[in-house]
Amino acid sequence: MKRLWGYVSVIFATIFFGLSAPLNKIMVSEMNPILIGALTYLIAGIFLFLVRQSPLKNFILNVLNREKDSEMSIKPSDYLILIVTAISSSAIAPLLFLRGLSETSAVNSALLLNIEVFFIILMGLIIFKESLKLKSILGVLLLIMGATLIATNGEFHHIILTQNIKGNLLVIGAAFFWSLDTVLSKFLSGKRDLIWISAIKSFTGGLILMFILLFLNMSLRFPLKMLPFLFSVSIFSIGFAFILIYFALRQIGSTGVGSLFPLSSLFGAMFAFLILKEPFGSLQIFSAFIMILGIFILYQNNK
């Protein structure tokens, strides 16, 4: 049952990640991408701090810690890991990705980001001695195949990895730092107060990006009509998603969580269809089918 809730948690997290794709696409047309990151992470941190001070705190923590196997104390070394993961996922990775995206194609970037799954699995095997059954590899490959079909819209002739090598390497670097965040977060997933952990991580990441904006003397102005999108991404795609990922890491480990990350591409395509009216045709439906099959194989082989 614990593994089931781990899978449910990471799937909900990928739904929230998917929601951010079309909303960020709307915002990036009128806002600096770094400003979007800074504001969403800061808002998410403030939101989580407020939740922790509200009556909801005990209810949420009791639901997350039903098994009574979580750690009450947070040691100085835990805060060090927390700061490292915040810098890795909220500052270094986004900056590398944005820089890489400016020097390579969007299709190449979408394809290369899937290497994050392999980084997570490899680090999980090395650091935590987690196992991945041979049959589970088929499930992972199906998920990556589905994500690749959705990301490239089946237009593989647009993939040219031998050109724009610098941009491609920057995207791979971003994938590495995002995967490092996921794997190191496993050390924090056993803590009881996942709201506090998520709040610190979000707020730290937002502060770092805000300092970068100020250092580069970039404008902090943004249209007020963007506020609903900022709050939606902050609360769901960062705030709730962080808590769900930490809980899932506790239940199924970093390899299990990382294997399911490609699902965010599927949910991103679904939300793009609902919000932006982008096409969701037979290719996307086929991709959804093989990704669901991949989830089934992973779950059945890792009970």
Q: What is the residue-level pLDDT of the chain in tens, covering all 303 positions?
A: 678 899 999 999 999 998 998 898 899 888 888 899 899 999 999 999 999 999 999 999 998 888 767 788 888 999 999 999 999 988 888 888 878 877 776 666 777 788 888 898 889 888 888 777 777 888 888 998 888 888 776 665 555 555 667 888 888 899 999 999 999 999 999 999 999 999 999 999 999 999 999 998 988 989 999 999 999 999 999 999 999 999 999 999 898 898 898 898 889 888 988 998 888 888 888 988 999 998 988 887 766
Q: What is the CA radius of gyration of the chain?
A: 19
Amino acid at residue number 17: F
What is the rounded distance in angstroms from the CA atom of residue 157 to the CA atom of residue 38?
35
Buried residues in 238-253 as b, exposed as e (16+ CB within 10 A): bbbbbbbbbbbbbbbb
Return the bridge partners of 71, or none. 191
Quote the tokens at residue 133: 């059954």
Q: Which residue has the tokens 């093989």?
A: 290
What is the rounded distance in angstroms from the CA atom of residue 193 to the CA atom of residue 85?
17
pTM of the model: 0.89
